[in-house]
């Protein structure tokens, strides 16, 4: 869903109330964690009653869906921001496409040490 990509080299550390992601160098596995972003869940009583009201007449039960969509949207934004910041700390190899820390990357060749020495 994200515009930006960081391959599979990140972990989602998010909880119900905080969004946080951990990015790792593909070679030495040095990790960087994005600053936690608090998520203020809307009062569930309100969204549930809204959902219940709009469901009247249709017979549809959409309880809980409203909150989930808001959470997913907020999480996508938080991930975008985290990836953007991670891009300042990691470098993408133009050959293998993976992400590496300063130590495992040769800026002159825009390649990771792996590909550079291969
Ligand atoms: Zn590294
Ligand atoms: Zn590479």
Decide: helix, strand or coil at residue 5.
coil
Exposure string of 70-96, with b = 16+ CB inside 10 Å and e = fewer, is ebeebbeebbebbbeebeeebbbbeee
- Is residue 111 a part of any domain in this protein? no
Lowest mean pLDDT among 4-8, 63-67, 95-99, 108-112: 63-67
Number of domains composing the chain: 1
- Is residue 115 a part of any domain in this protein? no
Q: What is the DSSP letter of 34?
A: P
Residue 63: domain span: 10-90
Model-level pTM?
Answer: 0.72
Residue 74 Cα to ligand 2 middle (Å): 32
Residue 105 Cα to ligand 2 middle (Å): 8
- What is the enclosing helix (H) or strand (E) of 44? helix 44-55
DSSP notation for 84-104 = HHHHHH-EE-TTT--EE-GGG
Provide the residues around ligand 1 (an ion) whose CB is within 5 A: 25, 27-28, 30, 101, 103-104
Per-residue pLDDT of 12-30, as tens digits, reads: 999 999 999 999 999 999 9
């Amino acid at each position: 869903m994200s515009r930006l990509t960081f391959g599979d080299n990140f972990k989602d550390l998010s909880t119900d109330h905080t969004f946080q992601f951990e990015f790792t160098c593909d070679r030495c596995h040095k990790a960087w964690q994005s600053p936690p972003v608090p998520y203020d869940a809307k009062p569930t009583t309100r969204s549930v009653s809204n959902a219940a009201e709009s469901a009247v007449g249709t017979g549809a039960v959409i309880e809980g869906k409203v909150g989930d969509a808001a959470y997913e949207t907020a999480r996508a934004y938080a991930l975008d921001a985290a990836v953007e910041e991670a891009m300042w700390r990691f470098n993408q190899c133009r050959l293998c496409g993976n992400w590496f820390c300063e130590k495992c990357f040769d800026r002159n060749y825009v390649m990771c040490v792996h590909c550079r020495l291969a």
